[in-house]
Structure formats: C-alpha cells, structure tokens
Structure 1
Amino acid sequence: MHRLTATDATHVLAESGSHISRIIDGYVFDPAGATVDRDTVLEWLTPRIEHSPVFRSVIRRVPGDLEYPYWAPATDFDLRDHVTVEPARAPGWLAVRDRIVETCTTRLPAGKPPWELLVVTGITGVDRFPDGACVVVLKMHHGVGDGMATVEFARELFAAQPLPARDGYRPVGTAGALTRALVRIPGNLVRFARGSVRAQVLGRAAARAAATGEIRTPQFRWPTTRFNRRHGGGISFDVVTLDLAEIRSLRSRHPGVAVTDVVVAVIGDAMVSYLREHGEIPNGSLGGKVSYSMRGSLDSAGTTDTAAHAGDATSGNNFVVLTVDLNTDTEDPVARLRAIHESMAAEKRRFSNPAVAELAEALDYAPAVYVDWLVWRRSRLPIGEGETVALGNTMVSNVPRKADDMRFLGGRAIESFGILGVADGTRLNHFVASVGDRLTITFAVDPDVMPDPERYAEALRRAFETVVDAHRARVEGGVGATEEGLGVVEEA
C-alpha cells in the first residue's frame, strides 16, 4: 500500500471551510494554427497520462484516520471527467482571468484522481499573447505534491513526445487498509516515541549551533498588516510580466545575488507602497515566507534520497519555508537588496545544518491521528488579532519551470504562471515563474483586502524599475557593486 507521508497527508486533512488545498500551474501556448477542440485535446492527452499513476489514481482515507491516506487505482477513471476545453468568453485578459478564478475556487471532487485540466482557446486582445493563444491550467491537490512536483507532472504532460507508460498502484480495499492500519499501530507508536526523543536531541543541537553562531536564528515575528487577518473566503489574482533580460544583464557585473532575491525585494517594496497608499504604515520591516525546495539536498544520512521516515512513501511536498527579512524599512534599494540576500543566505545555511534539516522532517514520525489533531488545533489559533504575525507577511514561491521546451498540440510555451492559495493569516501570496526572457509574478489575494489589484500590479512594476534603475545608476556612477557583494544569478 503506497501511503502519503505526514507532510502530504496534512494537505488532505487540512482541507475544510474556506481552505481549498490545491496547486494551480498555468501555461500560455501558441498553438501555431493547430486545431484545439475537446476531442483533439483528449486524444493528445490519452497516452501522456499513462506515464504517472497519479493521473489514474485516487487518494483514500483510512477510517478514523488510523493511518495516513493512501493511493489506490481509480476504478471508474474517465479522462473526460478531468478535462475542460472551452473558447475564451470575451476578448482580453479579464475574461480569461475570471474563468481561471472559477477553477481556483472549486474543490477537486472526492473519490476521483486529484487533478483537472482547463484549456481556454482562441484568446484575443491580450498584448503579450499572439491572437489565438491557449491558456492551459493544471490543477492538482496539494497532497500530491508541492509546486516543484506539479511542474514535473506538467513536464510529463507537455513533453514533445509521450513518456513511457508506468505501472499503477496496487488495489487496496477499505477493509484491507483498515486491517493494515490496526496492525501497524504498535510500530507507529514506537516510531513516534523514538522520533519525539530524536526531535528533542535535534532541537538542542540546533540551539547550540545558534548559540555558537554556526547558524543564525531568524526573526519570527513581524508587524500585522491587512494581509494577515482572517480570510474572507474569496480569491482574485493577476499576473505581472517583467523583463528577465533586465536582470540577466546585471549578472556579468554583479555575481552573487539570485533572481529570487531581486523578486523578493520588488515584492516587499510593492507591499509597503500599496499599504501606504491606503493609509497603513507598517510598524517596522515586513517579513516573507519563501519556499525553498529540498530536492537534491543532502539528508541526515548524507544521501539525496528524501524518502520520508514513514516507511514506504516518498513525499511529494519536499520544501521548507525560509523566514526572510524583507528589510522594507531600508530606504536605499541597493542596500535593501544586499540585506535581503544576506537574510536569504543565512536561512539556507540554517536549513543546511544537519540538525535543522532533520528536525524539519520530524513530522513524518507522527501517527496520522496526531497530525489530524495538529491540523484541528491550528485551525483554532487566533489569526491576525495581535500586533505581530508569525513567520512572515506574505508567501513567495519561485519554482524553476524550464518551460521553453514544453509543447501543447505542437505549440510552444510562451508564458507561465502559478496561483498560490490564500488562507487565514496569508491573504496575499506570490508565485514567480519565467519562460525565455519573460518573468511573471502572479499575486493571489483575498479581494476583501485588495479590491483594486490593478494598483498593486502597478506597484510591482514601479518597484521592479526602482531596483533595476538603482543598480544601473550605481554601476554607471562608478560604485563597484561587486565589492558590495551584489549581483544576480539565475537560481532559486
């Protein structure tokens, strides 16, 4: 029986109320004159979904959550249940955006493979798209995996040629899953007890590393803003397109700072600008939660296999959250970018510490019922009622796409975007992606706190110009940015 890990199961157990646990991964394709209708898309997809069993399987919960949910083959799988193909409702981006919002606000049906594909065809009137472009949106349950995992599934679907078919999961009935869960209870409790002791040891080791200066403990409390209160239930989003070539042009002169550092600086600047326009001045610097993929990182055993300690599953959600100081109270854009880079680098060093890295995986020792209790307890914590908020004011996710070679019905990808969910405490989130020289920042927001997203989109553009112009002026003025440790490289 292929079980979800504790980390993946959390996204299944936590889905309730206004919280919809899903990943939205979007691509814009130029179909190059190809016919795009439902029958053609279904025929094209049929051999492609055979590569990964996830597309043909369901997530089932064990009665009483005595064990983590598990994967099982879908007995009534029909590709037509998962694919929607329809023409754009009207010219322009607004009509496309509103249709995608509908996808964001609907739950994936229980008992079905946890994914859907929306294809909007015949798009016109969008300056950055050729007339006739298609937007293809892949929606997957967060229990399947994180943004990086979803991109991998997208690369399987949109490969130039279908990838080889793979075997699916073994059939497991409810009775069999329950019996297995009951048998495993003693072993799970022993594993949990050992894991708890191990977590205490790791916690002390991490504390010693912080005390000796080996790692730097970040600030975990930040001023509460309108974006950090209870979620009103709705969601809106928009995509801001920036010129990645402007960032790349600085790389040869300023080795050191990553694209993510630049984007985080832009986001922090834009957030403060928007808040000030609405008469809100944060009491201190804002903080950001920046997702950082651990794929390929060394685990505590010194290997690159990130299989969970649960025993027979590998986590699809394999990332940690860096707590980064956005330094929004630093006026000089160059100094602010340098400080953000230092904060980001310190967090990466912290999670590269063996004790901290293993401690981040401690949840995988916990029994399913304990994870269920943690989810319940967290849902009852006060949100945004005090002067400070934990971890950060917004979430930023930068997932490398490598989408230039993706194809849909022969058409090439020309733009990519992703839409993070919004929830209690995080009512404004950002997803960063790029294709070619086009970088996109997709911001998802609760419309109750941002009824005018076009103003925030403009704030992001202004902030980007400020960062680029400041670096250009510093170089043209003869100030050596290299000596200051500035620069840009293309990495997360």
Structure 2
Amino acid sequence: MTPGFGPVVFGARGSRLAASDARTLWSSALIPNDQFLLYCFDGTRQPVDRLARHLAARAATLPELRTRVAEVPGGLDYPYWVRGDAVDVRTHDGGDWVAGGGVRGVREAVAALFADQLDPRVAAWRLHLFGPVVGAPRCTAEGIVVVLQISHALADGRRASDIARRLLTRQPPDIDTVLPGRWGPVPAAAAAALGWVGFPTALARTVVRGAGAVPARSELDRRTEDGDVPPPADPCPPTSLNTRPGPARDIRLLVRGRADLAAGGSTVTVGGLTAISLALERLLTVRGEDVPGALTAEVTVARPRRGDEHNAFGNVSVPLHPGTPVSLRRSLIGRSLRAARDRAADPAWARIRAADASVPAVLARIGIRGFDIDTPPPVVGGATVVSSVARGDSDLVLGGGRVAFTAGFPALSPAMGVTHGIHGIGEVVTLTVTSAPEALPDPDGYAALLAAAVDELREA
C-alpha cells in the first residue's frame, strides 16, 4: 500500500464532496480529466476472461469502487458520494504491443480509450484488460495489460495508485469498510434543504476568509521580496506545444531502470525533468522555434489533505534551464523544483486558499461554467505538464505474472497539447508522452529525442 493511505471510509448516508473534488468533477465537462493507470504483467498464465471475473469480485471489496456521484437537486449544495454498485470490467483482444503494417497495436488501443470518458454520476471507474500481449517492454513472455480508468473527482494520482494497488495485490481484501448509503428522493431533498439553509452561512464564511486572504497575499509578497520565500518562476510564453488539441490522442512509453534517471544522486523526478528539458529544447530547435529562456514545466505537487478531500495537489511552474550543460541543468532543475515546492508549502497559501473551500456550491458551479477555454492565454504555466508518482514495490502479481512496469498519462487541456508522466514501481520507471497530433505530429520522433536525452543523462 502507498505509505500514508488507506481505504476511504464513508458514513452510512454517504459524504459530501469536498469543494476541490466538486470543482474537479464539474470542470471535467470542459476539460476531460479521467486518469488511466496502466500496469503490465509478464508471464500471466490465466485466460483474460477469468482474470476479469477475479478483478470484478475484488473491486466489490473496495469501498472507493462501490461509489458514484449524486448531484443535489437544483445544484443547491455540493454533490454527494453515494452507493454505486456498477462493476464495469472490459476485456480487449491482445496482440502485439506495437503492431506495424497498418494494424493497431495494444499501445494505440490504450490511447483510443481516452475518447470514452466516465460519467461519475453513473460509475466513477472502469477497468480494461488486454491480453495476451506480445512484445511489451520488460516482458519475456506473453502478458496482460491492465488499465484502471478512474474519475479524477474520486482520486488524485496518489490515491488512485493506492486504489490500483489494493485492487491488484495478493493481500486479503478489506473487510472493515462502511459503504455510503443509497440515494433516493428523501436524502436528495434533505441535501437540497441543507444547502439552501446553509447558503447564507457559507457565503458569509467565504467573505470573511476572502478578506483574510488579502493580508496573507501581502505577507507572502513581502516575504518573497525579503528572500524568505522563493520567488515564482517567470511566466512562460506559449510554444507550439501549447496548441489546442483535437480529440485524437497518441501515447509513447519509455521504460527504463530507476538508476537511469536517478544517476548522480538526483531523484527520479529531477532526472525525468532534466531529460524532458533536453528533449523539449531540441524539439523546438528542430522545428525552427526560438527556445524561450523562461521555458518551464507545470509540475504536480502533493499537499496535505484537508478533511476528507480526495484531491490534494497543486501545480507549480519549474524552470527547465535551457541552454545549460546536462550536469549543471540537472542541478539547477533540482534547486528550482525544491524552491517551487517550498513556496507552495508556505503556510500563507492555506489562508489564501481557505476561501475557495467555503464558496457556496451554486457560486462555485457558476464560476466554472464561466471559465473561458476558447481564448489562448498570453502566458502558460509551462510548455508541458509533468506528473510524477511512485507506485510502490514491484510485488504485484496477476494470474501468475509479475508486474513489469506501470505508466500514467496526464490529461491534455486547451492550452496543453503535450504532457509527460513519470511513474515508477520497484526499480522500473516509465516516462510517458501523451499528445495530440495538432501539437506533436511526429510522436515517434519526439520519443527518440527523449530516449537519447535519458541516455545522455545516464552517461553524464
């Protein structure tokens, strides 16, 4: 199990979504944000149908996978997690990991899943099994590819990884769990009434906390000027990678040993960011674009959870230091990442964000619906998004096959046509590239640049 995480325990009547989770749910209508967690097992000997039945039974023991979202009538309050018994385990033909001659391989089939996003009001997750699969990285025999598709409202990257681990582990299932209650006219009406009655109090709390955020922001600015708090990264001008994506998706995976990225005493995340920095700089150069001196990556950073929220992370902009030698670049990126994390962890942010957690649901929903996704921004948080998650030990076994690697694919957005994932299990780390043809028409060419950058990093 991922350290610090356990099963979510719901009250008998369900639980209201935290404000951060509700915003994630509502924004998915504008920017699809399902997560896809891929696990590849080497040497699996059981038929796919039998494994599907096993995993369906296993899913029934996990409380998070026995839930769905119920909206409060009239939108008068935040939605609730309620009992949801849908079990959707789908099997797909296997074949070659990457097929040629116009035949779609498993990798392309996985990318095609992104077009069918979940409706968490019906089911907040779905499981896909591909097999048998031939020629997957780090596999010596036929294997099985398992993809857990999960609504971001239900879990962030850390919690989703924990759910996947408990689904795929050999350990006995959880037994001391409390499932949320079922949703019907009576609890729905009660939730609406509570939302209506509580609106004035929530609005007043928002005003008070909003007023408190003003001095907190001033304090943060003053301490930044004094050097007590690291300054934010310079704004990053949009590049061709920030082209608005269409519906099609491509994925590429680079499966390497942990030591390839953590060479020189750096962390896997810093090593991955350094390789991405080199590859992006060379890609833009090949395209004939000016490489911005303020080239940055938008990196997801975990923060402490507030109450029962399922999403506890934020994005920080990390300078990629183009134009510097490899060994120096790795050191500079490591310092920049630490500085961004230190700034994001400053206590002043808790007061600045407090108002968001108390905004009445009606106003929060209006704010999200009014978000403009059609106007390109003058500056962006980064040329790409990078999500890095450690998924624990490589002790997962399915149908007699051991886990060979895992991968994840951060979602694209109107201003982000290419994203990267860094996901490790045991001593194996997978770098992924998720892209749209509008932003990256030659994903194989970019994957080659990224592979060369990892090799250079290892040898530096």
Is 1:222 the counterpart of 2:236? The answer is: yes
Measured at CA, do residues 362 and 273 of structure 1 come closer, stay the same or move farther in structure 2, by a change above 3 Å? farther
Measured at CA, do residues 342 and 360 of structure 1 come closer, stay the same or move farther in structure 2, by a change above 3 Å? farther
- Partner amino acid, structure 1, of 2:156: D
Q: Is the 8 A contact 1:49 1:157 kept in 2?
A: no
Alignment partners' CA distance in 1, 2:354 and 2:296 = 23
Alignment partners' CA distance in 1, 2:303 and 2:120 = 30
Mapping for residues 153-168 of structure 1, pairs under 5 Å: 153-165=163-175, 166-168=177-179
Measured at CA, do residues 285 and 242 of structure 1 come closer, stay the same or move farther in structure 2, by a change above 3 Å? farther
Which residue number corresponds to residue 9 of structure 1? 22
Q: TM-score, normalised on structure 2?
A: 0.90
Alignment partners' CA distance in 1, 2:43 and 2:56 = 15
Q: 2:34 aligns with which of 15, 22, 30?
A: 22
- Partner amino acid, structure 2, of 1:126: A
- Partner amino acid, structure 2, of 1:22: D
1:245-274 C-alpha deviation (Å, 9 max, x unpaired): 2345533xxxxx322111111101101211
Q: Is the 8 A contact 1:238 1:457 kept in 2?
A: yes
Measured at CA, do residues 171 and 126 of structure 1 come closer, stay the same or move farther in structure 2, by a change above 3 Å? closer
Which residue number corresponds to residue 319 of structure 1? 313
- Partner amino acid, structure 2, of 1:211: E
Measured after TM superposition, the shift of residue 362 of structure 1 is: 4.0
Q: Is the 8 A contact 2:212 2:351 kept in 1?
A: no
Which residue number corresponds to residue 92 of structure 1? 98
Q: Is the 8 A contact 1:242 1:440 kept in 2?
A: yes
Q: 1:38 aligns with which of 49, 58, 62?
A: 49
Q: Is the 8 A contact 2:48 2:132 kept in 1?
A: no
Alignment partners' CA distance in 2, 1:91 and 1:440 = 15
Q: Is the 8 A contact 2:241 2:383 kept in 1?
A: yes
Measured after TM superposition, the shift of residue 155 of structure 1 is: 1.2
Which stretches in structure 1 are left out of the alignment for 5+ residues?
252-256, 296-305, 309-313, 471-492
- Partner amino acid, structure 1, of 2:257: D
Alignment partners' CA distance in 2, 1:336 and 1:266 = 10
Instruction: Indicate the SS of the match to 2:236.
Output: strand
Q: Is the 8 A contact 1:4 1:69 kept in 2?
A: yes
Instruction: Indicate the SS of the match to 1:414.
Output: strand
Measured after TM superposition, the shift of residue 9 of structure 1 is: 0.9
Q: Is the 8 A contact 1:351 1:357 kept in 2?
A: no
- Partner amino acid, structure 2, of 1:264: L
Instruction: Indicate the SS of the match to 2:160.
Output: helix
- Partner amino acid, structure 2, of 1:15: S
Which residue number corresponds to residue 359 of structure 2? 366
Is 1:234 the counterpart of 2:248? The answer is: yes
Alignment partners' CA distance in 1, 2:21 and 2:94 = 35
Q: Is the 8 A contact 2:410 2:434 kept in 1?
A: yes
Which stretches in structure 2 are left out of the alignment for 5+ residues?
1-13
Alignment partners' CA distance in 1, 2:336 and 2:232 = 8
Q: Percent identity?
A: 24
Measured at CA, do residues 248 and 326 of structure 1 come closer, stay the same or move farther in structure 2, by a change above 3 Å? closer
Measured at CA, do residues 126 and 171 of structure 1 come closer, stay the same or move farther in structure 2, by a change above 3 Å? closer
1:423-478 C-alpha deviation (Å, 9 max, x unpaired): 111111111012333221111111122121111101101111222222xxxxxxxx
- Partner amino acid, structure 2, of 1:442: T
Q: Is the 8 A contact 2:217 2:348 kept in 1?
A: yes
Q: Is the 8 A contact 2:396 2:402 kept in 1?
A: yes
The 10-residue stretch of structure 1 (199-208 or 413-422) with the greater mean CA deviation from structure 2:
199-208
Instruction: Indicate the SS of the match to 1:432.
Output: strand
Q: Is the 8 A contact 2:76 2:195 kept in 1?
A: yes
Q: Is the 8 A contact 1:51 1:163 kept in 2?
A: yes
Give the paired residue count.
439
Aligned CA-pair RMSD = 2.1
Q: Is the 8 A contact 1:31 1:410 kept in 2?
A: yes
Which residue number corresponds to residue 76 of structure 2? 66
Q: Is the 8 A contact 1:119 1:137 kept in 2?
A: yes
Mapping for residues 305-454 of structure 1, pairs under 5 Å: 306-308=305-307, 314-328=308-322, 330-380=323-373, 382-384=375-377, 386=378, 389-454=379-444
Alignment partners' CA distance in 2, 1:91 and 1:14 = 33
Measured at CA, do residues 354 and 157 of structure 1 come closer, stay the same or move farther in structure 2, by a change above 3 Å? same
Which residue number corresponds to residue 274 of structure 1? 283
Measured at CA, do residues 321 and 380 of structure 1 come closer, stay the same or move farther in structure 2, by a change above 3 Å? closer
Q: Is the 8 A contact 2:112 2:249 kept in 1?
A: no
Measured at CA, do residues 324 and 464 of structure 1 come closer, stay the same or move farther in structure 2, by a change above 3 Å? same
Q: TM-score, normalised on structure 1?
A: 0.84
Q: Is the 8 A contact 1:220 1:392 kept in 2?
A: no
